[in-house]
Amino acid sequence: MLNAKITGTGSYLPEKIVTNKDFESIIDTTDEWIYARTGIKQRHVIAKHETTSSMAEMAANQALEAAGVNASDIDLIIIGTSSPDRVFPSTACILQQKLGVGDCAAFDVQAACSGFIYALGIAHQFIKSGGATKALVIGAEANSRILDYTDRSTCVIFGDGAGAVVVEASDEQGIMSTHMHSDGQYQDLLYINNPIKDQQQDGDKAHMTMHGNDVYKVAVKTLSRIVDETLEANGMKKSDIDWLIPHQANIRIISSVAKKLGMPMEKVVLTIENQGNTSAASVPLALDLAVRDGRIKKGDTILMEAFGGGFVWGSALVRM
Ligand code: COA
Q: Is 29 in the pocket of ligand 1 (CB under 6 A)?
A: yes
Could you read off the pLDDT of 167-225 as tens digits, one per residue?
A: 999 999 999 999 999 999 999 999 998 877 655 555 568 889 999 999 999 999 999 89
Across the chain, which has 320 residues, the per-10-residue mean pLDDT values are 93 98 96 97 97 98 98 97 95 97 95 98 97 98 94 96 98 96 96 73 76 93 93 95 96 92 94 98 98 97 97 98
What pLDDT does 204 receive?
65
Which residue, among 91, 133, 93, has the nearest Cα to 110 in the 3D structure?
A: 91
- Report the alpha-carbon distance of residue 74 to residue 101 in Å, rounded: 7
- Report the alpha-carbon distance of residue 251 to residue 248 in Å, rounded: 7
The verdict on whether 247 is a catalytic residue reads: yes
Q: Which residue's CA is minimally distant from atom 41 of ligand 1?
A: 216
Query: How many angstroms is it from 258 CA to the middle of ligand 1?
Result: 22
- Domains along the chain? 3-173 (3.40.47.10), 176-319 (3.40.47.10)
* Sheet with 134-141, edge to edge strand ranges: 3-12, 161-170, 134-141, 76-80, 105-109
**8: helix, coil or strand?**
strand
From 20, 44, 93, 113, active-site residue = 113
Mutate to test the pocket of ligand 1, among 23, 182, 216, 248 (most ligand atoms within 8 A of CB): 216
Question: Is the Cα torsion angle 61, 67, 68, 69 positive or negative in sign?
Answer: negative
Q: Which residue's CA is minimally distant from atom 27 of ligand 1?
A: 213
Given the CA of residue 23, which atom of ligand 1 is nearest to it? 7
Q: How many CB atoms lie within 10 A of CB 105?
A: 15
Which residue, among 227, 76, 75, 46, has the nearest Cα to 140 in the 3D structure?
A: 46
β-bridge partners, 181: 313
Preceding amide of 89 cis, omega within 30: yes
The verdict on whether 113 is a catalytic residue reads: yes
The verdict on whether 234 is a catalytic residue reads: no
